[in-house]
Structure 1
Amino acid sequence: KRYIAKSNGLYTRFQTTTRLASGIAVTGWSQDEARGLPLGEIFNIIHAETRKPCENPIQKILEQGTIIAKENYPLLIAKNGKDVQIAASGAPIRDREDIIIGVVLVFRDITKQLKTEEELLKIKKLESVGVLAGGIAHDFNNILSGILGNLELASLRIAETDQTAILLTNAKKATLRAARLTEQLLTFSKGGEPVKETTSLEKIIRDSAEFVLHGSNTFCEYSIPEKLWMANVDSGQISQVIQNIILNASHAMPDGGKITVSCNNIEGSAVLIPQLATDSDFIHLTIQDSGTGIPSENIDKIFDPYFSTKQNGSGLGLAISHSVIKKHDGHILVQSEPGKGTTFSIYLPTSVSAEAPVASEQDTGKVARPLRIMVMDDEEILRITTEAQLTQLGHEVILTMDGTETIDKYKELQELGDPVDLLFMDLTIPGGMGGKKLSRKFLSSTRMPRSLYPAVIPIIR
């Protein structure tokens, strides 16, 4: 958009660079309304943070006779009072004698551009926290596994009526709570990548909402089409997202109320969100409450890790939800008005398959004989604990620390005629060969017996 003013600072005319561009779209002033008015009245700009009036660019150009550019992206106050963030520049208009006879002012609406940049910055921030959280969670999870395993072994040696058994049960419950927190932290890291399958999103939504609201005075009203497309998602992670949002909605209505949950199918070409691919179709899920709402100063912080307005809140729920949806190649948005309620909008890609896969039957029968099991883990406490658990079940256990030792030990047992029946592996071994690489070596080696292939079971912690 381009405004032209006379040297006395009065507006003369407006020019556009495209047929669709219009001064009315940004300022709200029409040509006839603006003509003859002081440009400061039409081009009313303020500082984006302090909201104090900015220096009149026209006057500055007239006084200095130089080209200027507003680098701090001020807010333009439109005729209707709406704030529009702009990038602006101006230059003097000179006659043949090099006398300034006017000013040309060029500006464009960059509100959406800055919003997109803020979203990208927020994503990078979450990714950085995810790397840190993932490392902490992995080590913490190893410790918890050792604690929980030993608690279970101790419980087997004590009668259920013993007072000590009650104490051990309470300790196991506390450990499992800590393990769930670790699982949440892992959602930020690469170890929290979703394991997707084609499934019905409606079932996940209903089951998750009813589980969270059980026993409360809040209820859900659903609006879900009969032919809602199938989704390609990690059911557990999406369930966690829905539970987090539904729980927040319930807390926002302490006296109870209605939460409206709706879904609809959206073709990719109809999606107007820059972060989403237009060559995919999406399921649009909205969760709306009529609670207290979110203050405007907090709306941009709700997806930040550890940000919470609740006295006992961890500040992880919505941050995890944001991370999960991003890892599903989707997008999550929030709109809120204090005193009127909050609406979360979630976009998830649909599955290329029209129907959910039929679950295959699995053999859950008990092992008919004791097995020779090799356990590979770099953590001593986990090796010892796993050995004790498997020995308790009657199996023979061989312990190794990394992939190289595992291969050597396996070959040695093969040559002695005592082959391994089952192999448990930690996927990642710092500074050594982990289960992922070792599995590929086993499966690609012609020297390994085919009978071992289905028995290679990586353990992910």
Structure 2
Amino acid sequence: MSYFEEKNIRNIVNKFHEGLIFVDREGKVQFINHIGEKITGWTENLAKGKAIVDVFRIFNEKTNIQYVNLTNDILNTDIPYEITNPIILRSRNHQEKDLICRFSLLQDKNSTITGYLIYFTDITEKKKFEREFQNALRLNSLGKLSSGIAHDFNNVLTTILGNISLAKLDVSEEEEIFSLLTEAELGIEKARIMTQQLLSFSNDGVSAKETIDIAHILQEFVSFTLSGSNVTCEYLIADDLWNIEVDKTQINQVIHNVVINAVQAMPIGGTINIEAHNVQIPSENSFNVPEGNFIRIVIQDHGIGIDPVDLPHLFDPFYQSNLTGKGMGLTVVHDIIVQHGGFISIDSELDVGTTVIFYLPAVESKVAAPLKEHATSSPHSGKVLIMDDEDVIRRVLGKMLKQLGYLPTAVANGDDAIQIYQENMAKGTPFSAVILDLTIRGGMGGEETVKRLLQIDPKLKAIASSGYSTDKIMTNFSDFGFSGTLIKPYKVKELEDTLADLFDAFST
């Protein structure tokens, strides 16, 4: 009769908070307590008499090799046996669980070894929390890193795009060089989207939302993303589609990322099907969102599909597979949709295709009227002060302003900007406007500079310039003393329109 056939002993060990298995010298299971049953999926009746390696199936987490010589390893040692590597248990119901476990020899009153005990604890939830915590730390670090990369990248793009847009002004639209420059501009537009993806991992700002006609945006941006590919698109969009209030740049990222994934899933070409409809979600729903009106957008490809094993990990930026790739595209998509009060789901079947469905809250407000067009040659003139710590940006922005009829003066930091602004006011030759970069390395940036300049000249006309489109100043510029914004990178036309809007606003 074993220890565990005694009622009092059984009652005691069944109250343990960890699993316990008694194994005899032949490696056969003789007893398993209640927690052990729960963790392994084996009842005592089913497990009793079976080989321990069939019931307690543990594997090295790194090598995926099963520990198949447990009994020999334990019985042939004079010290407590220990497995130091991370252990994975594969239960009877095919679940994988993280364990820590200890092994102890059992002896009778004559010091004869009768078997051994295995004590084990399920730490799956603990390890899951630790992994999520580490991912959160990594995402935070990634956000800071990507934000800096995006800033530097946007400065480079500003230089390239500015010079290309200047070159196009001197070329006839009929010339081949004009088409080549236009293609280069399209490439930069796609690069600008990439920088916005990087900025999505930085929480340093608030989205600038506007009411948009999603039907128009959807078709416009899908066409842009598909340009140059061997993939076409078929639309089924409701005529009475509601509007949505979103950050237009971020929603463009969502469309771009999903469509790019669809294109990559169809290497020999094909057709993407896109639908958009109004839906009303009731108070009791399975989506865990408040009741209300939503826009339902479906983007379906007919490509290679995604393995079911990969589907649960699609929004994890650190998960990699042959089909999901190594990018953060779907993570960005998920985060943007959730930030806008929506939700997303993905369904896929290998060799059939993938369907991405996302919902965005609808609004009753009307789409804002488009900004009025300005003449190609600027009707305005005057002196404009530029502050930017990048020499190449100061040069290209100066050329753009000269092309538009303005007289530019460029400085590298806030102290110089304040000094030159004061000097010109004292001479009676004030600046008509200032363009201030918000981020100046090692010096006073645009936020502090504009405060100081407003103390000198309360009628200051200032434009905030930055590659951080979600920066709090760029989304609420008037609260910080600015009269307009320029998001890097920008073309001559965008600079012209921004200055024209600025002067028109002050002339009314």
Tell me the TM-score normalized by structure 1: 0.70
TM-superposed deviation, 1:377:
2.0
Amino-acid identity (%) = 24
Task: Tell me the equivalent position of 1:14.
Answer: 32
1:79 aligns with 2:92: yes
What pairs with 1:53-202 in structure 2 (closer than 5 Å)? 53-57=66-70, 60-64=73-77, 70-80=83-93, 82-92=94-104, 97=109, 102-108=116-122, 110=124, 135=148, 137-157=150-170, 165-189=175-199, 190=202, 195-197=207-209
1:425 aligns with 2:436: yes
Q: 1:338 to 1:49 in 2, by over 3 A?
A: farther
TM-superposed deviation, 1:432:
1.7
Contact 1:28 1:79 in 2 (8 A): yes
Q: Any stretches of 5+ residues in structure 1 without a counterpart? A: 273-277
SS in 1 for 2:177: helix
SS in 1 for 2:259: helix
What pairs with 1:320-339 in structure 2 (closer than 5 Å)? 320-323=329-332, 325-326=334-335, 338-339=350-351
Q: Which amino acid aligns with 2:120?
A: V
Q: What is the number of equivalent residue pairs in this alignment?
A: 433
Question: For 1:396, which of 395, 407, 410 is the aligned residue?
Answer: 407
Q: Which amino acid aligns with 1:76?
A: L
Q: 1:227 to 1:44 in 2, by over 3 A?
A: farther
Q: Which amino acid aligns with 1:15?
A: N
Name the CA distance, whole Å, in 1 between partners of 2:385 and 2:207: 26
Q: Which amino acid aligns with 1:35?
A: K
Contact 2:236 2:275 in 1 (8 A): yes
SS in 2 for 1:187: helix
Name the CA distance, whole Å, in 2 between partners of 1:266 and 1:113: 36
Name the CA distance, whole Å, in 2 between partners of 1:119 and 1:249: 29
SS in 2 for 1:449: coil
Name the CA distance, whole Å, in 2 between partners of 1:227 and 1:156: 39
Task: Tell me the equivalent position of 1:234.
Answer: 247
Name the CA distance, whole Å, in 2 between partners of 1:371 and 1:65: 91
Q: Which amino acid aligns with 2:305?
A: G
Task: Tell me the equivalent position of 1:434.
Answer: 445
TM-superposed deviation, 1:288:
5.9
Note the alpha carbon deviations across 1:142-190, whole angstroms, 9 max, x for none.
34433443444444445555xxx53254135325413532541353144
Q: Which amino acid aligns with 1:88?
A: I
Q: 1:363 to 1:301 in 2, by over 3 A?
A: closer
SS in 1 for 2:419: helix
TM-superposed deviation, 1:319:
1.8
TM-superposed deviation, 1:23:
2.8
Contact 2:32 2:44 in 1 (8 A): yes
TM-superposed deviation, 1:412:
1.9
Q: Any stretches of 5+ residues in structure 2 without a counterpart? A: 1-17, 463-477, 489-508
TM-superposed deviation, 1:91:
3.8
Task: Tell me the equivalent position of 2:368.
Answer: 359
TM-superposed deviation, 1:70:
4.2
Q: 1:339 to 1:271 in 2, by over 3 A?
A: same
Q: 1:295 to 1:115 in 2, by over 3 A?
A: farther
Task: Tell me the equivalent position of 1:275.
Answer: none
Contact 2:215 2:241 in 1 (8 A): no
What pairs with 1:241-256 in structure 2 (closer than 5 Å)? 241-253=254-266, 254=268, 256=270
Contact 1:73 1:88 in 2 (8 A): yes
What pairs with 1:202-217 in structure 2 (closer than 5 Å)? 203=215, 206-207=218-219, 211=223, 216=231
Q: Which amino acid aligns with 1:43?
A: F
Q: 1:441 to 1:334 in 2, by over 3 A?
A: farther
Q: 1:398 to 1:327 in 2, by over 3 A?
A: same
| CA RMSD of superposed structures (Å) | 5.1
